[in-house]
A and B are shown apart, each in its own frame.
Chain A
């Protein structure tokens, strides 16, 4: 058998031999992942290592760089803009994710009922997530415009605001509120639709059993829905934390980090310091503050969530 096999391979034309080789998983597998691997090493892993190097160097656009140790990080902590940004990042992420979670659960519960125009409603709810964020944020920018704000106009005419209403993008706390609102607006569909998918997968029998035991709607929500939904909620919150923490578009378009750095996030400050003023080293160091959050989320996910899934 073995001898026959060898004799056959020798005589086989190249095409057939390649064909046979490609049928082996040990050959085809690596071959199939090579393009992706090549791309990710060259354009993700390598730039990441560069970011690490930049962060410990005094790199400046168009100038040779030297190793400076942790000086960038020390300098950052002495800068008001950075400390403000650090605080903003947590305020922004914390409030936006919390709001998206609460609103997302409520919206998903509503969408899970028997509704008229179910498809149209779902479509409408998902829309903010699909439109280019930079462009839709321009729409919000106009809505928050200091002279012609439609938000203020409506608020005044409904009697909930005193004229002329807040200057949304020009005052510290209002500006932060505005960027959080736009982030919630954009991110809510992801929460609502994903939580809805989780709700749909909860077996009806559990609700019937709970109802038979005399549990009201609120008790059913607390004792059946929430516990069974918790894995989905955990994933949604984890993913959203990364995306919200690293947000760039909304702040860049809406406030440019202002007024007086009160809405800067790591990504927007990194761009301002690294590109607009040319201090790549300093900018890279700011970007790297996104990394611990990434590591944490990946770790939690691999350690707890993945394990349950497989």
Chain B
């Protein structure tokens, strides 16, 4: 009896040890969602319990956000920028990664190191001069500025991630196809890419998430309400003066996160493998 009980007790202790971590990780989302659903009367009542909704759920903050602010435009911008930047970056990253992982040519090592270095260059180091470049390209205060600049951090990321995946595809498979008369590009398209699909999914997900979440470039290169992204819109346009509409602010934060959370729920394992790819490989 005692022998069987001990593992169960340890197991319960283990789970109890995880509780503080889970509360720490999840509480902000819980509180955000809760705030967005509370009536203003309960929200600004200093004697109410902030951890629960007692006076009924309301969707007025969401309605206000959707119909009285430009939130839908910001979301549309975010979608457009994210989809374009992701497509461009994954395409460029795929061919570059294939070349780096598979082909021997002049300068391949140097370029590989260059990709690694740019992967680590923080966006906050370059935003000032990039604002000038964006201006010269005639893209100042335009969402196209973001479509053009997001690949600067997405391409190194995708290239690096995919290099690892291409290396796991055995060279022989590709060589067989080429012996059978396929060109190298055909072998890439028909043999290597299908095998590397998990890597591609991972690269697409990460590129999508990173550009949806990007903030400093979006804040710096765009400013008018028609051009900004959801993150920038919620953090700058919903805060005017000293009066904060906390309900709508939190509603914006919740809705702005929804697309990523949906992807995340469906593709959790890809996120886990992508997050570790950089460090462990």
A interface, CB within 8 angstroms of B:
19, 22-23, 25-26, 28-33, 35-37, 39-40, 42-44, 46-48, 50-51, 54, 103, 107, 110-111, 113-116, 119, 121-136, 138-140, 142-143, 145, 147-148, 150, 153-154, 185, 188-190, 193-194, 196-198, 201, 232, 235-236, 239, 242-243, 245-249, 252-253, 266-267, 270-271, 274-275, 280, 283-284, 287-288, 290-291, 294, 297-298, 301-302, 309
Contacts and interface: CB of A to CB of B under 8 A. Distances in A.
B21 A110 contact: yes
Contacts of B31: 139, 142-143, 150
Nearest to A196: B276
Contacts, number: 297
B250 interface: yes
B215 A284 contact: no
7 contacts: A26-B106, A33-B111, A39-B152, A113-B14, A132-B212, A232-B280, A280-B132
B21 A19 contact: no
Contact of A122 (B50, B260, B268): B268
B165 to A, nearest CB: 16
Given A29-B108, A122-B268, 9 more contacts: A19-B183, A111-B18, A124-B22, A142-B250, A145-B246, A153-B49, A239-B279, A245-B122, A248-B215
B105 A242 contact: no
A248 B218 CA distance: 13
A271 to B, nearest CB: 7
A111 to B, nearest CB: 8
* Residue in B15, B17, B44, B96 whose Cβ sees the most chain A Cβ within 10 Å: B96
Nearest to B153: A44
B192 to A, nearest CB: 13
Interface in B30-58: 31-32, 35, 43-44, 46, 49-51
B216 interface: yes
A210 B111 CA distance: 44
A127 B29 contact: yes
Contact of A48 (B22, B111, B126): B126
B276 A197 contact: yes
A268 to B, nearest CB: 8
Nearest to A123: B268
B231 A246 contact: no
B146 interface: no
A201 B21 contact: no
B173 interface: no
A294 B120 contact: yes
A44 B118 contact: yes
A66 B231 CA distance: 37
User: From DSSP, what is the main secondary structure of chain A's interface residues?
Assistant: helix
Given A25-B104, A29-B103, A150-B31, A135 B128 contact: no
Interface residues of B, number: 97
B179 interface: no
Given A47-B130, A135-B256, A283-B128, A190 B235 contact: no
Contact of A29 (B15, B105, B128): B105
Interface string B261-272: 100110010011
B32 A142 contact: yes
Contacts of B51: 150, 153-154
A131 B260 contact: yes
Nearest to B152: A43
Given A43-B148, A249-B215, A193 B133 contact: no
Nearest to B115: A36
Contact of A147 (B22, B46, B99): B46
Contacts of B261: 127, 130-131
Given A125-B22, A134-B215, A271-B127, A35 B50 contact: no
B28 A136 contact: yes
Contacts of A198: 280
Interface string B159-193: 10000000000000000000000011100000000
Contacts of A188: 21, 24-25
B98 A47 contact: no
Contacts of A123: 264-265, 268
